[in-house]
Structure 1
Amino acid sequence: MAEFTMVAALLTALTLGVVQFGIAVYVRNVVHDAAVEGAYYGALADVDPGAAAARTSDLIARAVGPDYARDVEAALVAEGVNGTVRVTVRTAVPVVGLWSGPIAMEVVGDAPREYLG
C-alpha cells in the first residue's frame, strides 16, 4: 500500500509536469506566431508599421488571454528598400495552467516591408 502511494504520487507529479511544459510551449508558439503575423500585417504597403502591435496584441488576447499581450512593440528596423518591420513581444511563461509566473520570455517576429513603386 505504501509503495503504491509513493509511485502514484511520483507519476502524478511527472504527468502534471509534462502537461505544464506542453502548455508553456503552446503559449510560446502562439505568441511567436502572433508576432510574425503582426509583422507581416505591418509590412503591407498601405499599413502603418505601428498597426502591427495592435494586430499582434489582438491575436494573442484571442488565443491565450489578454494577460499575455501587455508588452508588444512594433518598429521599422531599416528604412528604404530593405526595410523590415519587427514586432517584439515580452510576456510571462505560464507556471500553473495559464497563470503566469515570474519567468519572462521575449519573442521577435520580422517581415520585409512591402513597397509599391
Structure 2
Amino acid sequence: MIYEIAVRPSANQKMTSDHLIWVETDMPTRSFEKWMRDRALLDGTGQAPIVRWSIVQTQRPAHFKLATQAKALKSRISELMSGLPEVTAVQDASKALSAFRLKAKTPELVSAYH
C-alpha cells in the first residue's frame, strides 16, 4: 500500500508539491498511523510534522519504502520542516545597475555608452 503524507512546511515556507511524500509499506492503515504517532510525526495538537495523510492508488513508485528507508524518510521530513526561506522575488538587475551608471555631461559620451 502507498500512503501520501503532507509534511508541515517551516514557518517561512509555503506548502508545495515537494511537501507531499509517498511511502510504500505493507502496514495496514491503523498500523501506519500508529507508526507515525509512535515517532511523534502525527499527534492531535495541530503542530505535528505530518499535516495530513491518506492512501494513494497509483501505479507509480513511492518515494520511500518504509521497511528499508525509514531513516531517510525521517531525514527528508526534517529537511522539509527546517527549510531555507523561499525566494519570492528577484531584484531587476537593470534597476540595480542604474545606480552605478556615470552621468556624462557631453552627448558623445552618452551615445557611446548606449
TM-score by length of 1: 0.24
Structure with a larger share of its residues in strand: 1
Q: Which has the higher contact order (CA 8 A, sep 6+)?
A: 2
- Which is greater in Rg? 2
Structure with a larger share of its residues in helix: 1
TM-score by length of 2: 0.25
